[in-house]
Amino acid sequence: MEQNNLIIPRKLKGFWELMPKEQILFSSLLQKLEKVFQDNCFVPLDTPVLEYSDALLAKSGGETDKQVFRFEKGDADMCMRYDLTVPLARFVAMHKNELNFPFKRYQIGKVYRGERPQKGRFREFYQCDADIIGDGELSVVADAECVGLFNKCFKALDLDVEIRISNRKILAGFIESLNKTAKNANILIVLDKLDKISPQTAKAELQEIGLTDIECDKILNLAEKRGKIAEIVQNLRDFCSNTVFQTGLDELETLGGLLENFGCENAVCALNIIRGHDYYTGTVFEGFLSGTQIAVGGGGRFENLCSFFSKEKMPGVGMSVGITRLFDILMEQNYFDLTRTNEIDVAIANFDETLAESLKIATNLRENGVKADVFYECKSFKAKLKEANRRGIKFVLIVGEDEIQSQRFTLKDMENGTQEQLSLSEIVQKIKSTRM
């Protein structure tokens, strides 16, 4: 191709791309989350990136319809999945008679949304979901298990996260007691912004919706409640006699009593947690990096996952870690030490006459769990050491004729300059010990 006709390499906006060292770190986070899911008896599921539009858009509307990537191929009208929940609903409805209930599944995969790219928002990103689906009914124990699982995910990532929990029925019941059920969605939109707007602004917006001064003060007072679950429940028992309100308190109290059994002691009640305006029906929760207002995932209870695909009731509860956004934030905060991340544990510096033996040694080391690579493209021994140093590789294994003869090899620590003569088995042990 002529120089003037070369295509300028560029990437679509809103689509993620990492350098190798960053991708190694990101992949390790995904592996840690997958292990948490598997250790807690959740089974893997992978659904297609493309779904029929009528299925994927069944529960959507408004902004969601505008954000999907939709196209036709032949007679098929298709969309790229914008979340993992609708594909789960379709899968469960199709295979209900083949599944064991409660059905506990996890899925880690990319989703696509055609929204305007901005800080913390991407058009392509990973979701890490886990859900428990019931057949006809599902105990609040499942809610507690999902919150506990969510907590374990962040423990596995060595992150301190505060989990804030509420129950949608509490606010819904109070709104019903004010005879404002028709304006429920609009009210919740305002309450969902309480961490971002002032109480005065929130009150003004509620008044525009049609609430009186007294009603505004009461609902803002309720939504701003935060503390230990048992104490909040006790303090609210006389706040409102509405049946839905009291049912929400009962479920929240039961959930709070169960959380300790799942090793979750860092949860607090925060009644302004909404998690969407029409999807969740009971328990809702979100995780925030400790000491911040940075949300890194959440979840909640939904009473009928498959309502668009089946007449049978299948309640569920789920959680999701916003791993793409989380990783982006941690990279910004220099949370990771990229100098300690490498695809190579040890570089093998060979001489021309020892190339064949060096390749065999690399194979031996790899079979024993050490990532070894032969620098056969570097022309001189000095160039091999220089390349290892440039790439931040901690160890260099020197393979000369004397080393092959004695089967004692020189292992050089590039960080402190020390070197020692070791057998291959000792080299494996030495390198593995430095990972701990």
Amino acid residing at 280: Y
Domain 343-431 has CATH 3.90.1300.10: no
Q: Give the residue range(s) of CATH 3.30.930.10 domains in the chain.
A: 10-158+296-341, 161-289
Q: Give the residue range(s) of CATH 3.40.50.800 domains in the chain.
A: 343-431
Provide the pLDDT confidence category of residue 285 given band limits of 50, 70 and 90. Answer: very high
Q: What's the CA gap between 253 and 236, in Å, rounded? A: 11
pTM above 0.85, yes or no: yes
Q: What is the pLDDT of residue 335?
A: 86
Domain 10-158+296-341 has CATH 3.40.50.2000: no
Q: What is the pLDDT of residue 62?
A: 53
Q: What is the pLDDT of residue 117?
A: 77
Structure token pair of residue 163:
């989990």
Surface-to-core class of residue 252, CB atoms within 10 Å of its CB (0-12 exposed, 13-18 middle, 19+ buried): buried
Q: What's the CA gap between 30 and 83, in Å, rounded? A: 17
Domain 161-289 has CATH 3.30.930.10: yes
Alpha helices in 52-198 (DSSP H): 53-56, 63-67, 85-95, 140-156, 168-177, 184-191
Q: Looking at the predicted structure, is the pLDDT value of residue 378 above 80?
A: no
pLDDT in tens, 17-67: 999 889 999 999 999 999 999 999 999 999 999 999 988 887 655 556 778
Q: Looking at the predicted structure, is the pLDDT value of residue 413 above 90?
A: yes
- pLDDT, average across residues 1-14: 82
Helix count (H) and strand count (E) of the chain? 16, 17
Handedness of CA 336, 338, 342, 343 (dihedral sign): positive
Q: What is the pLDDT of residue 195?
A: 81
Is the Cβ–Cβ distance between 110 and 324 less than 8 Å?
Answer: no
- pLDDT, average across residues 133-156: 96
Q: Is the peptide bond before 102 cis (omega within 30 degrees of 0)?
A: yes
